[in-house]
Structure 1
Amino acid sequence: FRFLLWLLSTMVRNTTGQIKDKIKRREAYMKLKQQRKQEKYENRMRKKKEREELGDAAPPKQMPKTLDSMRTPDETMVDEQDEEIQKDEDEDEWASYFKDETPPKLLITTQQAPSLRTKQFIEELQGLFPHGKYVKRKDFELKLITKFAINRGYTDLLVVTEQHKKPYIMIVSHLPKGPTATFRISSLMLHNELTNPAERSKHFPELNMKGFGTRLGRRMGRLLQALFPPKADLSGRSIATFHNQRDFIFFRYHRYIFDSMAKVRIQELGPRFTLRLKSLQNGLFDPQHGEYEWAYHKKEMGGKDRKMFNL
Structure 2
Amino acid sequence: MVPRTIENTRESDETVCLPDDEELFAGNDVDEFSAVLKNERSPKILITTSRYNSTRGPAFISDLISVIPNAHYYKRGTYDLKKIVQYANEKEFTSVIVVHTNRREPDALLVIGLPDGPTAHFKLSKLMLRKDIKNHGKPTSHKPELVLTNFTTRLGHRVGRMIQSLFPQDPEFRGRRVVTFHNQRDFIFFRHHRYIFETKESKQKESKGKISKDEKNPQERTIARLQECGPRFTLKLISLQHGTFDTKGGEYEWVHKPEMDTSRRRFFL
**TM > 0.5 fold call:** yes
Offset, 1:66: 2.4
- 1:270 maps to what in 2? 230
Q: Distance in 2 between matches of 1:172 and 1:162?
A: 15
Out of 92-101 and 102-111, give the one that drifted further. 92-101
Q: How does 1:200-215 map to 2 (within 5 A)?
A: 200-215=139-154
Higher relative contact order (CA 8 A, sep 6+): 2
Matched residue SS, 2:89: helix
The answer to whether 1:76 aligns with 2:76 is no
Alignment size in residue pairs: 248
Q: 2:260 aligns with which of 286, 296, 300?
A: 300
- Structure 2 match to 1:99: 38
1:108 to 43, 47, 51: 47
Note if 1:219 corresponds to 2:158: yes
AA in 1 matched with 2:259 = K
TM-score (norm 2): 0.89
| 1:288 to partner: Cα distance | 1.9
Q: Which structure 1 segments of 5+ residues have no match? A: 1-61
**2:246 matched to which residue of 1?**
286
The answer as to whether partners of 1:240 and 1:253 remain within 8 angstroms in 2 is yes
Contact 1:80 1:86 in 2 (8 A): no
Structure 1's 160 and 214: CA in aligned 2 closer, same or farther, altered over 3 A?
A: same
SS at the partner of 2:123? strand
1:146 to 68, 85, 88: 85
Output the aligned Cα RMSD: 1.3
* 1:119 aligned residue: 58
Structure with bigger strand share is: 2
Alignment of 1:123-134 (within 5 A): 123-134=62-73
Aligned partner of 1:189: which letter? Answer: M
- Name the one with the larger helix percent: 1
- 2:133 and 2:139 map into 1 onto residues whose CA distance is 13
Residues 16 and 152 in structure 2, CA contact (< 8 A), matched pair in contact too: yes
User: Which of 170, 179, 185 is the matching residue for 1:240?
Assistant: 179
Cα contact 2:122–2:238 (8 A) shared by 1: yes
C-alpha separation in 2, matches of 1:210 and 1:287 = 31
- Give the residue type in structure 2 aligned to 1:231: D
Q: Within 2, Cα distance between the matches of 1:108 and 1:65?
A: 42
* Partner secondary structure for residue 148 of structure 2: strand
Using the alignment, how far apart are the partners of 1:108 and 1:80 within structure 2?
Answer: 35
Q: In structure 2, do the counterparts of structure 1 residues 174 and 66 end up closer, same or farther at CA, with 3 Å as the change threshold? A: same
Which residue is equivalent to 1:309? 267
Overall identity of the aligned pairs, in %: 44
**Offset, 1:262:** 5.8
Q: Is the contact between residue 179 and residue 284 of structure 1 (CA under 8 Å) also seen in structure 2?
A: yes
Q: Equivalents in 2 of 1:254, 1:113: separation in Å? A: 31
Which contiguous aligned blocks of 4+ residues in structure 1 show a shift greater than 3 angstroms?
A: none
CA distance in 2, matches of 1:239, 1:81: 29
CA distance in 2, matches of 1:259, 1:253: 19
TM-score using structure 1 length: 0.77
Consecutive unaligned residues of structure 2, counting only runs of 5 or more, are: 200-220
CA shift for structure 1 position 91: 1.1
**Of the candidates 135, 154, 173, which is equivalent to residue 196 of structure 1?**
135
